Amino acid sequence: KAVVWSIDSHSEFSCEPIRLRMCQDLPYNTTFMPNLLNHYDQQTAALAMEPFHPMVNLVCSADLRMFLCALYAPVCTVYGQVSMPCRSLCQRAKDECHKLMEIFGVAWPDDMECSRFPDCDEPYPRPEDLLTGSDPTDQSSMTVQRDYGFWCPRELKVDPDLGYTFMGRKDCSAPCPSMFFNQQELTSIRYVIGVISIVCLSATLFTFLTFLIDVTRFRYPERPIIFYAVCYVMVSLVFFLGFLLEDRVACNAVSPSQFRASTITQGSHNKVCTLFFMVLYFFTMAGSVWWVILTITWFLAAVPKWGSEAIEKKALLFHAIAWGLPGALTVTLLALNKIEGDGISGVCFIGLYDIDALRWFVLAPLCFNVAVGVSLLLVGIVALNRVRMEIPLEKENQTKLVKFMIRMGVFSVLYLVPLLTVIGCYLYEHTYRNIWETTWMEENCKDYHIPCPFKVEQTSRPAMVIFLIKYLMMLVVGIPSVFWVGSKKTCFEWANFLHGRRRKDGVNESRQVLQEQPDFAQSLLREPNTPVIRKSRGTSTQGTSTHASSTHLAVLDDLDEPASSIHSKASYHSSLRRPRDDRSDTMVYRGVEERSFHGSMPHLDHPLSTHSSLHQIEGHSRHSSQQDVSEAPPTLITHGTTVSESRVAENDGTSA
């Protein structure tokens, strides 16, 4: 059978002798393929004609045989001219044979409807068709020179119920494992994917386990890094399973009895392939969204100076976006049946053969996320840098702020470089896929016995290194999460955990640096000669700025509380203090506000901390022990913290 198939097939479209048994002994003896019903060789045409054999043998109509041969084996005439049977010939054959066709259970095909043919009443073939015929061995005058597009080979055809599509042809699928690479190249790529998937799985799993050891260590704004790591735990796990399973999930089995080769799995009929696709696509998109949320939390902490508690109040919204949007895209793709097996990596994804799916469901979301994330990241870095340049800070805080900015920048670069490389590989694949497919068709058309492309102007094969880099970067993009937790503190935590000891809760350094810096907006709007009020960790420092304990200067969650409730919660303590240089006897009273909101104290810049006429000596009748001005103590003790310096109020009538 294979030998007969090879003999009956052709690589060029030319006039060829008629070999159909039904169409022997006609006024013409040459035909061309593909015929008027798009059969690309005579063997396919013969199979399609078999249902009509009983009607032709019983001679239900004298015109049926000629009409069928005019469609299945049309006369070969001058190039550019196609001789069509007349509508009257079709109508007579249909009217005279429809009763016999009903008896044999044969329906008149839709592509043979008489309305499709010209309205004429001439015999077939026409005399001019026979005059222009020539010897079938004269290839120069009989070659049909036009492009017939892609014809799905018999080996790549699949059941119509599956809904497969390949190169624009329905009920067709791509060869598996790969139509572009040989087995040696595939083996090399797969082993690289397997190794990198293990590295990524180890790095991201270590990050997540470090978080589980001490959950309070990783609060916002850096908490999204943990969820980002969880996403790439799942992505690397799917790629590792694909490496182990090889072609068993991404490819359909060979069926020699039906002359079918191994083809790429498409759609949701393969449950394991569907599961691989759902996990891989969902967590890939979710990881990208979590990185955007990470830049949002950094922006909120750096520019409007939100604290951890304020950002945590938006955690539910962050989770709804990070898991909801990828979930909606995944469900949409399942409904559209866009799942495709990847014969190279052994997993299932989208956009591997469908360019439209690649463009709208992979490239568009990734490019949008990169644009938003980079914009927010740059704004946050610029804001922190302006704080560092314009506002005087202690040397320790200067060092920590610079360290945090460098750490944030390095982490973002380690994430963006692999992601942008993946996007570049997708764009390369999106641009050249049509050329690759045309080249593949030209190289394999003779083996598959399908029409070869006509006048191929450009041929190209995909570079193996591009695909290798794409899979490599898809996994490397998850590794940077381990650099965020890679520190001595992590080593101590693991040592304590392995020895059964629990570490005392502490303040995260990066979050502390952000909260210790002055409000960026306030610093830009302050008066030139107004002292800067900044936050410190309660250490006594020398300078002219006001300091306070960081225990009492955590981020406010309830800045929008009514003034009445704030006044009801505040208590004022007054004492007198003589300036250190003893050059003035002017005494000032300072109110210290104390509140407790779930363990956090109010911002020092709150209006209640300003001096006013309410601080006069006569107005403080609620203090039981009033002291004479000349007997005022030299220091003010507030909750155990010694304030070494305070601002001197102007003599505006508020002092005694």
Residue 552 clears pLDDT 50, i.e. is over it: no
> How many other CB atoms sit within 10 Å of the CB of residue 196?
22
Q: Tokens 């059978």 — which residue?
A: 1
Distance separating alpha carbons of residues 146 and 339, to the nearest angstrom:
34
- Residue 271: how many CB atoms within 10 A of its CB? 9
* Mean pLDDT over each residue of the chain, to the nearest integer: 75
Check whether the bond before 34 is cis (ω within 30° of 0): yes
- How many C-beta atoms surround the C-beta of residue 353 within 10 A? 20
Mean pLDDT is lowest, of 214-228, 266-280, 503-517, 590-604, for 590-604
Positive or negative torsion for Cα 68, 70, 72, 75 = positive
Q: Of the given ranges (115-129, 539-553, 603-617, 624-638), which has the lowest mean pLDDT? A: 539-553
| Cis, bond preceding 518 (omega within 30 deg of 0) | no
Q: Strands, E, within 18-81: which ranges?
A: 30-31
Compute φ and ψ for 251, nearest 5 degrees: -125, 145
Tell me: cis bond preceding 177? Omega within 30 of 0 counts: yes
Q: CA-CA distance, 533 to 306, in Å (whole number)? A: 17
Q: Tokens 């049509």 identify what position?
A: 434
Specify whether the CB–CB gap between 384 and 302 falls below 8 A.
yes
Residues 283/310, Cβ–Cβ less than 8 Å: no
Note the pLDDT of residue 534: 44
pLDDT in tens, 2-58: 323 333 334 344 678 999 999 998 889 888 877 888 787 788 888 889 999 999 999
- Quick: pLDDT tens for 242-281: 999 998 999 998 887 677 889 999 998 999 999 999 999 9
Model confidence at 529: pLDDT above 70? no
Q: Could you give the CA distance from residue 387 to residue 534 in angstroms, rounded to a whole number?
A: 11
- Looking at residue 617, its pLDDT comes to 35
Q: Which residues contact 98 (CB under 8 A, 6 or more apart)?
A: 108
Q: Is the pLDDT of residue 96 over 70?
A: yes
Judging by DSSP bridges, how do beta strands 169-170 and 165-166 pair with one another? antiparallel
CA triplet 388, 389, 391: central angle to 5 degrees? 70
Retrieve residue 474's tokens.
């898809």
| Contact (CB, 8 A) for 100 and 55 | yes
- Which tokens hold the place of 17? 């002798």
224-245 and 183-213 helices, crossing angle to 10°: 150
Residue 146 has a pLDDT of 57
Handedness of CA 88, 91, 97, 101 (dihedral sign): positive
- Residue 574, C-beta contacts closer than 8 angstroms, at least 6 positions apart: 589, 590, 591, 615, 617, 620, 623
DSSP secondary structure, 605-616, as one string = TSGGGS--GGG-
What's the full length of the chain, in residues? 656
The letter for the amino acid at 143 is T
Are 249 and 347 a contacting pair, CB within 8 Å? yes
pLDDT digits (tens, 9 = 90+) for 559-577: 333 333 333 333 333 333 3
Residue 166: helix, strand or coil by DSSP?
Answer: strand
Q: What is the pTM of this model?
A: 0.64
Tell me if residue 564 falls in helix, strand or coil.
helix
Query: Is residue 654 a contact partner of residue 612, using CB atoms and an 8 Å limit?
Result: yes
Ramachandran sector of residue 16 (left: φ over 0; alpha: ψ -120 to 50; beta: rest)? beta
Rounded to an integer, what distance in angstroms lies between the CA atom of residue 45 and that of residue 517? 81
In the chain, the percentage of residues whose pLDDT exceeds 70 is: 69
Give pLDDT, residue 391.
62
